[in-house]
Amino acid sequence: MNINLTLIGQAIAFFIFVVFCMKYVWPPITAALQERQKKIADGLAASDRAARDLELAQDKAAQELREAKQEGAALIEQANKRAAQIVEASKDDARKEGQKLIEQAKAEIEQERNQAREALRAEIAAIAIAGAEKILESSVDANKHSEMLDKLAAEL
Amino acid sequence: MAGTASEYIRHHLQNLTYGNLPAGYERADGSVLNDSTWTIAKNAAEASDMGFWAVHVDSLGWSVLLGVIFLGLFRMAAKKATSGTPGGLQNFVEVMVEFVDTSVKETFHGRNKVIAPLALTIFCWIFLMNLMDLVPVDFLPWLFHAAGVEYMKVVPTTDVNVTLGMSLSVFLLIIFYSIKIKGVGGFMSELTMHPFSSDNIFLKILLVPVNFLLEGVSLLAKPVSLALRLFGNLYAGELLFILIALLPLWAQWTLSVPWAIFHILVITLQAFIFMMLTIVYLSMAHEDNH
């Protein structure tokens, strides 16, 4: 239990250890701890931000989807309308075409009938002249009587 | 190590002392010194006759060795400290550092770069020194005896010099920071104007010695209580281990095991108390709110 120089030796050792600890042990460890703390805080902030971004992106995606759907629906409607129009128009066209064809055909028929009638008339006139020649036993001057014959033919 | 029980105990409580013996001193073996000699004390009487100018080689040696182990370990971790995933050693060191850091931050609110490393050093170093108490009491002395060293006290904190050395260092820090923060005048007025104070200038002067006595005692009690608390606990623990070692071999474990387990608590607690009180005292030295 003697108090002696050990006391001072211990105090000196204590002093040296504390200084060493203060200079070479404490700062690197606390620096690493603080850096890790910062990293974790940054990481958490980043994940928060990412979650928010994700939410925003989802919202945006949903909105765009909705818009696209609307647009698609509008397009389909327009297309339907257009198709109906086209069908209507082509029906019209077809009707018109048909009408035209019918008219043309009618005109042709008319023309052919006229031609046939013309021909028939001419033939009948000839037959009539021939008949008349036979009846009169003399030739009929076709040129002389053409006016009369024409009148006759026109009556047929 | 043969002999009576009291010899055995006394032997175990004797430090390995290196010091100066005066000329004409009769040594333990009966020889008389012609000149004053620096030597290792051969028994307790020689050690105490060496007076103040002697060193407990074992206490200092073990405490420095343990301090170097502590700082070496922590320095190794500090060198490789990363902010990424820590390894096992770094993890342990970080736990210690954070534990000390929170203890300091809870108690000490000023700005001081010294206190936290100081507290860490105190806690770990004292813990390691106390831990030597759990080494079986005869083991290391027996090894050293075989190597020719007569006395070996392996628990530095059972040496009052060691604990006083540390507590007096803390005491010096208390005085240093008191004067640094409050100035010499502030520190003096803290010692003389409290706890009794008066508006009457005459009465005030009359109260100075009373205050000084009270405050002086409470100031001086700090290092003494700090040192003696640690010393007393560890000395008692060591003594109990020595007493248990006197029992027959087959019966020793029935007492030594429970006591060792209980002692783990004492060891940690005493290291913690020394650290906490140091922080508290230094934080009181920083506060100027009297």
Query: Can you spell out the DSSP letters for B241-287?
Result: HHHHHTS-HHHHHHHHHHHHHHHHHHHHHHHHHHHHHHHHHHHHHH-
Name A13's Cβ contacts closer than 8 Å, sequence gap at least 6. Answer: B60, B63, B64, B67, B165
What per-residue confidence (pLDDT) applies to B84? 80
Cα B132-A22-B127 angle, rounded to 5 deg: 15
How far is it, in rounded angstroms, from Cα B154 to Cα B162?
12
Compute CA distances B52 → A5, A8, B35, B46, B58, whole Å: 6, 11, 19, 12, 16
Work out the average pLDDT over A59-74: 96
pLDDT profile of chain B (290 residues), mean per 10? 75 86 81 83 83 88 94 91 83 91 89 90 95 88 86 90 93 92 86 79 85 91 94 92 88 89 94 94 80
How far is it, in rounded angstroms, from Cα B158 to Cα B53?
20
Which residues of B belong to the active site?
225, 229, 233
B89 touches chain A (CB under 8 A): no
Chain A residues whose CB is inside 8 A of the B162 CB are 6-7, 10
A41 touches chain B (CB under 8 A): no
Element (H, E) at A155: helix A142-155
How far is it, in rounded angstroms, from Cα B208 to Cα B201?
11
Handedness of CA B171, B172, B177, B179 (dihedral sign): positive
Note whether B29 and B42 are within 8 A (CB): yes
Closest alpha carbon within chain A to B94: A29
ipTM over 0.95: no
R_g of chain A, CA atoms, integer Å:
59
Query: Closest approach of chain A CAs to the CA of B240, in angstroms?
Result: 17
Residue of higher predicted confidence among A12 and B33: A12
**What SS3 class is residue B38?**
strand
In 3D space, the residue among B201, B190, B217 whose CA is nearest the CA of residue B286 turns out to be B190
The neighbour count for residue B125, using CB atoms within 10 Å, is 28
Chain A residues whose CB is inside 8 A of the B117 CB are 18, 21-22, 25-26
A22 touches chain B (CB under 8 A): yes
B9 touches chain A (CB under 8 A): no
One-letter amino acid identity for B47?
A
What per-residue confidence (pLDDT) applies to B1? 43
Closest alpha carbon within chain A to B101: A30
Closest alpha carbon within chain A to B74: A25
What per-residue confidence (pLDDT) applies to B3? 66
Contact B97 A39 (CB under 8 A): no
What per-residue confidence (pLDDT) applies to A141? 66
Whether the per-residue pLDDT at A48 is higher than 90: the answer is yes
Name B124's Cβ contacts closer than 8 Å, sequence gap at least 6. Answer: B70, B74, B96, B271
Chain A residues whose CB is inside 8 A of the B71 CB are 17, 20-21, 25
Per-residue buried b or exposed e for A135-152, using 16+ beta carbons within 10 Å of the residue's own CB: eeeeebeeeeeeeebeeb
Q: How confident is the model at residue A124 (pLDDT cuts 50, 70, 90)?
A: confident
Contact A5 B52 (CB under 8 A): yes
Whether the per-residue pLDDT at A139 is higher than 80: the answer is no
Q: How confident is the model at residue A138 (pLDDT cuts 50, 70, 90)?
A: low
